[in-house]
Structure 1
Amino acid sequence: MLLVHPVNEAVKVLPVLFVSFVIGSRSGNHLWGLIIVTLVVLFALLRWFTTSYRIGPVHVQLRTGVFQKKLLSVPRSRIRSVDVEAGVMHRLLGLSILRIGTGQQAGKGEKFELNALDSRVVPALREQLLQRAERGPDALRKAPPAATEIAHWKTEWVRYAPFSFTGVVAIAAAVGVLFQYGFGERVANSSLVSSSIDSAERFGIALVIVVGLLVLLVVASLFACARYLIAYGNLTVTDDGARLHVNHGLLKTRSTTLDRKRLRGTSLSEPLLLRIAKGAKLDAIMTGVSAEKKESSLLLPQAPAREALRMMTVVLGDAGLHENAQKPLTPHGPAAERRRYTRAVVPVLVVAAALGIAEALGAPIPTIAWAVVVLVLLGAVFVARDRYRGLGHAVLPGWLITRHGSLDRTRHSLEAAGIIGWTVRQTFFQRRAGVATIVAATPAGVGHYEVLDIPADQAWVLIDAVTPGAGDAWAH
């Protein structure tokens, strides 16, 4: 346990250690580097000795601080989640990190985190906290219910990893680190870059760009597959009737517990690239777990669409949506379809008109510009058609289902009991088209879910169907 904190602190001050090492190497005096390492180790050890926690009958308390003491107290009745995480070093030492979530936004230094706990005591500790929070004091005397596995990760799912932007993001992060530590200038002046410039002059810039894009695609795909394997390998989802347990990770493991009492639905994500590969991703809509704050509500990572749909049906069926969770959606009519084409095509036509006017006035417009306009126009038409095909809603007893988007299509299934308010919104152009957007406010997930461009005369009818009485006529 004493080893974890020194290593973590050393990683935080790695740039300082690197600079001190370089200066010491040039001067032949490594005393400054040794002093910095000693101070880091001493401070980390003091942090470990001054950190303690206490689980009382009403509150869970965490005491921290070396120079400034801090006592963080969380009422056990406010505990919404207990997550367990273990990095490579933690796993080698038999340790884990336990985090307690309350559903509130925690500021810096206010997160309840127990680092470097003995992994053998963590399951019992988590069960104790969750039982107290979710079932009351009497549940402590009962044995936890048996869990049933409802999903299991398969190796072939890794083929869906390249159909995302995680590989490109990883490459961008690596390049940023290289430039931050001064390696970018060395790469720019290297023989590889010089030979690439010579090749561009010899074979043409277009060919070099195409080859570069292909290389970037291959490297990004490899990065995405590696990240997917590390993050989601060995994923299992189990259900004990009261909670969903999601465990995943090869090197760094993570265990998330989702309370069914706070489950308000699911979000099925089908981005365009992943949809082309017939894949999807599934998240839970949970009260007290904010998707906007990147809190974990994952049920399935990128996986076959049929598996994500099966998982969605199982979770929603157990949550009370006993009818078909995959019910076909009601389209929003010709007005919504026209808006999709208008918003996609008109900007491209405006650019084309501007180019035409410029050419008529004598400005030289290259042929490639017109080719790009035509390609963009065809792409806009495709996106508009796909956006309308993905637009729709359905109302089932006690549930609202809404779907929209093309490049990032998402199907939200939201329980009516989790909706705390409604907003019917119309812009100037929506009023002219006779459509409206319905916003369902909820304390779960992203906080609000929209039904886009529904015929205006059907807006309050839909609201009344989901939550009877909310669509009553206005009194003047």
Structure 2
Amino acid sequence: MMSEAKRMHPAATIFNFIAMIKDVLVPAVIGSFALIRNIDAAPWVWVLVILGLLLIMVAASFLSWYRFTYRIEGDELRIESGIFIRKKRYISKNRIQSIDLTAGVIHRLFGLVKVEVQTAGSDNSAEAGLKAVSRRQGELLREALKGEKAEPAGKVEDPTEPVKPKAVTQRTIGWKRLLLAATTSGGIGVFLSLFAVFGSQVNQIIPDGFFTNVYNWAVHLSIVILLVLVLLVCVGIWLMAIAGTLLRYSYFTIRKYENELFITRGLLEKKQVTVPLNRIQGIRIQENIFRQPLGYAAVYAEVAGGALDKNDDFSIALFPLLKRTEIQSFVQEYLPGFQIEEEWEQLPVRSARRFILRSTLPVVAIAAPLLYFFPLYSWMALIIIAAAAVLGYLRFKDAGFTINEKQLSFRSRMLSREIIVVDRKRIQSLSTSNHWFQRRKSLQTVYFSIASHSGVGKSFLVKDMENGDAEAIRDWYSFHSD
């Protein structure tokens, strides 16, 4: 009976312990290396300290599992947790947007799933989560909270497959398309940020003078060797980005039901994401610099509330890679309320100079001192400045907008070209602005915001738009008659 208090599977103790290792043990070990320099103590003392800390963490993990209970009473999911301070959380069924099931490697060894309950007010983490319950228990919980009929356990082979009536439509990604998505993902930035975080944590245990010695060694190398080393590092990071994309989007499947989209993906960690259609604020089409020449793009949904995927910048990938010619039919099939426009209003020609200057001036400011100290390599600085100018021109060329009776679309570029499509009723605010330089050229910047995670708005803009076009968009939003 769901009205009786239940505990999670005992394997939840493992997940509690792993979380404590990340939050407590690793910083403690790194801090102990820093203290060893200043405190004269025998090595066995530090071993005892670490062992004692491990025993405390094991006990705390067990007590956290034992003191965690959940039940459904009336129209509420009730969760009680806490070792010394008891916390009670009541979640009404009416607030629940989706219930996601995830099966990581450890979950699959024990036949378990992780249950995440998402509400309209959730931020980028779930409103409530059960770290480890049996597959059948997770399905029954979803049935009780969402009014779905669970199938017998013997008929369910994949713990992350949604227990739903037959899908209206579904689409999967093939291995050739997945490999192309991985090699063109442009995910290098994710791994650079991971290296930066790792470097900040281990800085305390690096010997004094290490960076000075590395710098002195690098200075004596030729520019060609330095470029080769940088290239090798970039290739290595690119290969890791490919592996990460393959692990993340393997077996990607999107299914559409009456009011929801179900997305299942993952190789090591199988994850199912539920996307209520009424929470989708807009759709975003992204073509990075690798995919655009090949005619491919990724399609994302901007969703208000819910535990979204942090790697997608609070967006949900509806499909990791589609041909540009497939996007229109994909949107009509899964999001019939949206329309992808083919014709765009371009920016005035006088805006081009401003885009090019904004792109090149920061590069010139950085390159100037380098040219002064390393005049022999001025040709490299000139190439970089020329590339920045080309990027500025592409930003001008790709910028544009289109409006119809119910929908506004913006197109812009930083490095990747992006199209954002929103329904007028989903726009939280729309503003125009211009500064002195823009007023001289009769230009304006137009930007709008939509609801995003935890109620925080997410903004999109197009700079240096014609005054008349900016005013037309503003009037369309302000005085449109429904």
Partner of residue 414, structure 1: 422
Partner of residue 151, structure 1: 171
Preserved CA contact (<8 Å) 1:199 1:208: no
Aligned-pair distance for 1:369? 5.3
CA distance in 2: counterparts of 1:179 and 1:20, whole angstroms: 12
Correspondent of 1:125 among 95, 117, 141: 141
Preserved CA contact (<8 Å) 1:178 1:184: no
Residue deviations 1:23-82 (CA, integer Å, cap 9, x gap)? 999439965555433322222111111111222333222111010000112222222332
Partner of residue 151, structure 2: none
| Equivalent position SS for 1:297 | strand
Partner of residue 267, structure 2: 250
Correspondent of 1:208 among 193, 218, 225: 225
One-letter amino acid matched to 1:147 = A
CA distance in 2: counterparts of 1:79 and 1:167, whole angstroms: 35
Preserved CA contact (<8 Å) 2:78 2:91: yes
| Equivalent position SS for 2:258 | coil
Preserved CA contact (<8 Å) 2:299 2:318: yes
One-letter amino acid matched to 2:166 = A
Partner of residue 342, structure 1: 357
CA distance in 1: counterparts of 2:343 and 2:426, whole angstroms: 23
Against the structure 1 CA distance between its residues 258 and 107, is the aligned structure 2 distance closer, same or farther, given a 3 Å change threshold?
closer
Preserved CA contact (<8 Å) 2:30 2:205: no
One-letter amino acid matched to 1:271 = N
Aligned-pair distance for 1:401? 1.1
Preserved CA contact (<8 Å) 2:411 2:462: yes
CA distance in 1: counterparts of 2:275 and 2:322, whole angstroms: 23
Correspondent of 1:449 among 460, 465, 475: 460
Preserved CA contact (<8 Å) 1:9 1:44: no
- TM-score (structure 2 length as normaliser): 0.78
Preserved CA contact (<8 Å) 1:64 1:70: yes
Against the structure 1 CA distance between its residues 275 and 39, is the aligned structure 2 distance closer, same or farther, given a 3 Å change threshold?
same
Partner of residue 232, structure 1: 249
Higher relative contact order (CA 8 A, sep 6+): 2
Aligned-pair distance for 1:409? 2.2
Against the structure 1 CA distance between its residues 400 and 182, is the aligned structure 2 distance closer, same or farther, given a 3 Å change threshold?
closer
CA distance in 1: counterparts of 2:302 and 2:238, whole angstroms: 29
Against the structure 1 CA distance between its residues 415 and 317, is the aligned structure 2 distance closer, same or farther, given a 3 Å change threshold?
farther
Unaligned 5+ runs, structure 2 = 1-8, 149-162
CA distance in 1: counterparts of 2:358 and 2:45, whole angstroms: 66
Partner of residue 284, structure 2: 267
Partner of residue 317, structure 2: 298
Against the structure 1 CA distance between its residues 463 and 248, is the aligned structure 2 distance closer, same or farther, given a 3 Å change threshold?
same
Residue deviations 1:140-176 (CA, integer Å, cap 9, x gap)? xxx9542145331222223343445534643663575
One-letter amino acid matched to 1:404 = S
- Please show how residues 18-33 of structure 1 align to structure 2 within 5 Å: 26-27=43-44, 32-33=49-50
Residue deviations 1:377-434 (CA, integer Å, cap 9, x gap)? 3112211221112111112331111111141321001112212332222222222221
Question: Which 10-residue stretch deviates more, 177-186 or 433-442?
Answer: 177-186
| Equivalent position SS for 1:82 | strand
| Equivalent position SS for 1:80 | strand
CA distance in 2: counterparts of 1:368 and 1:163, whole angstroms: 34
Question: Which 10-residue stretch deviates more, 13-22 or 53-62?
Answer: 13-22
- TM-score (structure 1 length as normaliser): 0.79
Residue deviations 1:285-317 (CA, integer Å, cap 9, x gap)? 22334879744522123x2443xx635642355
Against the structure 1 CA distance between its residues 456 and 269, is the aligned structure 2 distance closer, same or farther, given a 3 Å change threshold?
same
Aligned-pair distance for 1:328? 2.4
CA distance in 1: counterparts of 2:426 and 2:189, whole angstroms: 37
What's the C-alpha RMSD, in Å, of the aligned pairs?
Answer: 4.0
Question: Which 10-residue stretch deviates more, 81-90 or 309-318?
Answer: 309-318
Unaligned 5+ runs, structure 1 = 133-142, 472-476
| Equivalent position SS for 1:121 | helix
Partner of residue 217, structure 1: 234
- Aligned residues, how many? 443
CA distance in 1: counterparts of 2:53 and 2:431, whole angstroms: 57
Against the structure 1 CA distance between its residues 26 and 289, is the aligned structure 2 distance closer, same or farther, given a 3 Å change threshold?
closer
Residue deviations 1:326-356 (CA, integer Å, cap 9, x gap)? 422111222332321332345567789x78x
**How much identity, in percent, do the aligned residues show?**
21
Preserved CA contact (<8 Å) 1:271 1:406: no
One-letter amino acid matched to 2:469 = Q
